[in-house]
Amino acid sequence: MHVLKASSLVWSVSLIGIIIGVIQTRVLATQLGPEGIGLYGQCLALLAVLQMPIGNGLLNAAVRYVAASHVQHDYATTHRLIAHTQTLVLLTVAVLGGALLMTAPYLAAATLGSAEQGGLIVLLALGLPCAAAASTLQAFLRAFERIDYWAVASAVPLVLGLPLLVGLVLLFGLYGALLQISLLGLITATIGLLLYRRIPVVREGPLLALRLDRTILRQLLMFGGVHLVTSASFAGSFVVARSLVIHGQGLEAAGLYQVVLSISMQYLGIALFSLTVYWYPHISALAEDEAVIAATNLFLRVALFTITPLLVGVVLLRDILITLVYGPDFAAAAVLILWQAPGDYLRIISSILAVPILTGMQLRAYLLIGVGRDICFLSLFAVLLVNAGLIGGAVAICSSMY
């Protein structure tokens, strides 16, 4: 698929997601309030960490190797990679889900402030299989560069999920919001499966690997393991950061911090979503160094051309944006965006430039850069939060990116 067409599809889905996300956020802010938003954000962060072994480990490695083998028309290897990936995903979901159910009260006390919130952890455990199935199918659509299929499998559930969220939140509050995540994963997986089976090469391969190939297993675990560690370190640092805010500043402050992170993720998605969806598998399939450099530079120019005016607009209109989307109760979060934005801009640049390091198999360098950055962020966050409050936490992101 042509680069501009693929990028346009990804950005269109991103725009749909942002619009629907704004509406959903308004619904959640109105119904749950600052404390509920804080707990909801922490639950989302926990779910992101739980999905790291799959989405940022196994599936990231699978996309890299499936894309390369498919371009070389090595369909036998493609089939084995897919079967091994699906087997490992199934095993991982079983282990993580069981661990969550057994430790729900303790995990709730550590991350949500009270063991009484254990029911929220149970809901996350029950939603994990649906989310994993959806992520797996979407990853394979990306690996085959069927961005058109991926766009349908992503956009349709987003639209259907909005009325579902409204109804469930009105009925069950915070529990309904988490239940919507599970149902949305089920809808996404169903649509993704129907489209995935339309790819001819897929129908010829086995569903699971009954005997694991050591070479393929080593490829998936080594490459995926490095990306998993860096991704888990990044997401985990924000879980710890939220926990520090909850225990040190209270749930209301955690709600304000969630507002800033939520807005940040919306505009970062436009720049980095296309990196995950299209450019990463596209660059993974390139064999020549010159082609990799050219593709990376092209995406960097396109991303910065897109995100710079958007980021400036968010900073200038932050007061209006927060009041419109979240309501006047969250107005205190406006000043935090001013300190958060420079760090987000640097994050975009560093994320794009790191892709050739990963796809070029310079795994040790990629690992040291990613983990070192997050250790720096969390250390600065802990110190600055005590001395400067939430503004200090926002400054920590920018400082760590430098």
Give CA–CA dist 324/399, Å, rounded: 30
Specify burial of residue 214 (Cβ count, 10 A radius: 0-12, 13-18, 19+).
Answer: exposed
Asked if residue 278 lies in contact with residue 147, where contact means CB atoms within 8 angstroms, the answer is: yes
Report the run of H or E that residue 392 belongs to, with start and end: helix 363-401
CA distances for 96 relative to 1, 49, 99, 109, 139, angstroms: 36, 11, 5, 18, 20
Dist. CA 262–CA 31, nearest whole Å: 17
Residue 1 tokens read as 């698929």
pLDDT band at residue 132 using 50, 70 and 90 as cut-offs: very high
Alpha helices in 52-74 (DSSP H): 59-71
Other beta carbons within 10 Å of 71: 17
Token pair of 229, please?
């560690």
Residues contacting 345, CB < 8 A, separation 6+: 307, 308, 311
- Global pTM reads 0.75
Residue 267 contacts residue 314 (beta carbons within 8 Å): yes
Segment among 127-131, 188-192, 339-343 with least mean pLDDT: 339-343
pLDDT at position 120, please? 87
Let me know: does 104 contact 122? Beta carbons within 8 Å: yes
- Residue 65 · residue 215 · CB < 8 Å: no
Asked if pLDDT for residue 24 goes beyond 80, the answer is: yes
Label residue 90 by pLDDT band (50, 70, 90).
very high
User: Which DSSP letter does residue 7 get?
Assistant: H
219: confidence class by pLDDT, cuts 50, 70, 90: confident
Identify the band that residue 1 occupies on the pLDDT scale cut at 50, 70 and 90.
low
Residue 73: DSSP 8-state: T
Query: Closest by alpha carbon to 267, among 35, 3, 82, 18?
Result: 18
Q: What is the pLDDT of residues 297-343, one digit of tens each?
A: 887 887 787 778 888 888 888 888 888 877 787 888 888 888 888 88
